[in-house]
């Protein structure tokens, strides 16, 4: 099948590469010539494990190509994926200008039947706006070319996106056009050889499904984080509670880990957008507002613990910080807890040396030439001259450190752990004070 993908960001590039991997002829379009240059030179503009190999393999095979030529991209694919950014507006709503611009380009240049697929995370009703934009452009030039608009939301986890796309739990297709449904089933058939994973539904239900899924996962995280703070106050252990409730099959084990708050490009944006959508429709989503407020508070918990130990004024104090990305296996720092922790430490007069396996370049872009923030070449290098260690991201390389060396390097033997990486008794036995979130202390 000939497929065009508009946007070579996180969703677009993974979508294009994985569809090419299954034998499709894919052309990826981006208006950013720098991104296309990087891709044509064999680079990858985002950090996603395994993606570089999939891209290289399919470029070499001639199934995957990149362009900045809009007309070429519109002419190429019968199926046109729109996978551009939908950044939040100031009021929390999703900004659809790039989605609608892509739709208008398709309507302006198409000459035959197209299936236009909304892959970006968009509010309910966006497909109607996309359909209207394309129809308007066709009308302007008196064209009677036929088209269908489909909602096909992505359910990719950053850090595991290639595996998620190649082995999906479900493939949601929102469509009414029978020919479009047939084409989408054919496109995705290789991804569900053992069972049919395609769930066909109406467009609006498909659009809402994506927001509902992310909102549910965010709710589980905030619920556990609030319970962790309660457990800490009452002398209970949130890890024991997690195991106790997670063994109930009605609840399950996923997204029950307490920590210092969620971040990234999806959960915060999608929760805000769903709240705004509901407000516009006259509904007050009280649960989701609480989820958002709980998460905002959770991002400050580590600094509150630090202030409790060292005092509210941290002037002259220096902290080692392990982890900058919002989660492991990505360099994404959008809405990352590290940004809140670093800024709060600065506000209290402290300085920071940070280490992250892949996100330090992104941190330099965000913080610029901030003199109070330095970067280390290794986790242990970050400890030099530090008063305490603060852990914000649960990278694997942080899971089994040399506690004796940590104690020797720190001025004060204390670890503030925002991801509950260690057993409290083990850390205590090494002579370190340990401040996790919601864990009972021995």
Q: How far does CA 233 lie from the centroid of its chain?
A: 31
Query: What are the two backbone dihedrals, phi and then psi, of residue 321, each rounded to the nearest 5 degrees?
Result: -125, 120
Would you name the residues annotated as active-site residues?
Answer: 266
The 3-class SS string of the chain reads CEEEEECCCHHHHHHHHHHHHCCCEEEEECCCHHHHHHHHCCCCCCCCCCHHHHHHHHHHHCCEEEECCHHHHHHHCCEEEECCCCCECCCCCECCHHHHHHHHHHHHHCCCCEEEEECCCCCCCHHHHHHHHHHHHHHHCCCCCCEEEEECCCCCCCCCHHHHHHCCCCEEEECCCHHHHHHHHHHHHHHHCCCCCEEEECHHHHHHHHHHHHHHHHHHHHHHHHHHHHHHHHCCCHHHHHHHHHCCCCCCCCCCCCCCCCCCCCHHHHHHHHHHHHHHCCCCCHHHHHHHHHHHHHCCHHHHHHHHHHCCCCCCCEEEEECCCCCCCCCCCCCCHHHHHHHHHHHCCCEEEEECCCCHHHHHHHHCCCCCEEECCCHHHHCCCCCEEEECCCCHHHCCCCHHHHHHHCCCCEEEECCCCCCHHHHHHCCCEEECCCCCCC
Return the CA Rg of the chain.
24
- Please tell me the distance from the alpha carbon of residue 244 to that of residue 79, in angstroms, as a whole number: 47
């Amino acid at each position: 099948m000939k497929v065009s993908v508009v946007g070579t960001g996180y969703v677009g590039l993974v979508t294009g590469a994985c569809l090419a991997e299954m034998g499709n002829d894919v052309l990826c379009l981006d208006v950013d010539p720098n991104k296309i240059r990087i891709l044509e030179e064999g680079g990858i503009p985002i950090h996603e494990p395994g993606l570089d190999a999939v891209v290289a393999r399919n470029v070499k095979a001639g199934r995957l190509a990149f362009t900045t030529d809009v007309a070429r991209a519109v002419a190429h694919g019968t199926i046109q994926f729109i996978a551009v950014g939908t950044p939040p507006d100031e009021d929390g709503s999703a900004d659809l200008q790039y989605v609608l611009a892509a739709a208008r380009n398709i309507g302006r240049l198409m000459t035959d039947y197209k299936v236009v697929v909304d892959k970006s995370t968009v509010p309910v009703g966006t497909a109607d706006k996309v359909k209207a934009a394309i129809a308007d452009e066709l009308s302007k030039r008196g064209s009677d070319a036929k088209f269908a608009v489909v909602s096909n939301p992505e359910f990719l986890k950053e850090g595991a996106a290639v595996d998620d796309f190649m082995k999906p739990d479900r493939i949601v297709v929102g469509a009414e056009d029978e020919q479009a449904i047939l084409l989408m089933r054919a496109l995705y058939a290789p991804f569900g050889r053992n069972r049919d994973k395609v769930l066909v539904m109406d467009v609006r239900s498909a659009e809402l499904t994506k927001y509902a899924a992310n909102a549910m996962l965010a709710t589980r995280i905030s619920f556990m984080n609030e319970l962790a703070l309660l457990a800490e106050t009452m002398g209970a252990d949130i890890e024991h509670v997690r195991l106790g409730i997670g063994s109930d099959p009605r609840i399950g084990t996923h997204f029950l880990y307490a920590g210092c708050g969620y971040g990234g490009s999806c959960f915060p944006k999608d929760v805000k957008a769903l709240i705004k959508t509901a407000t516009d429709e006259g509904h007050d989503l009280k649960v989701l507002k609480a989820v958002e407020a709980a998460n905002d508070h959770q991002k400050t918990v580590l600094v509150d613990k630090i202030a409790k130990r060292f005092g509210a004024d941290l002037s002259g104090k220096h902290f080692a910080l392990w982890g900058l990305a919002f989660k492991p296996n990505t360099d994404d720092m959008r809405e990352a807890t590290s940004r809140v922790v670093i800024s709060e430490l600065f506000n209290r007069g402290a300085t920071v040396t940070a280490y992250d396996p892949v996100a330090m370049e992104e941190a330099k872009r965000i913080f610029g030439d901030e003199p109070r923030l330095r970067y280390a070449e290794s986790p242990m290098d970050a400890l030099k001259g530090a008063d305490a260690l603060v852990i914000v991201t649960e990278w694997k390389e942080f899971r089994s450190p040399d506690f004796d060396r940590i104690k020797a390097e720190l001025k004060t033997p204390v670890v503030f752990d925002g991801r509950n990486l260690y057993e409290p008794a083990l850390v205590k036995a090494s002579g370190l004070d340990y401040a996790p979130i919601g864990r009972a202390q021995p």
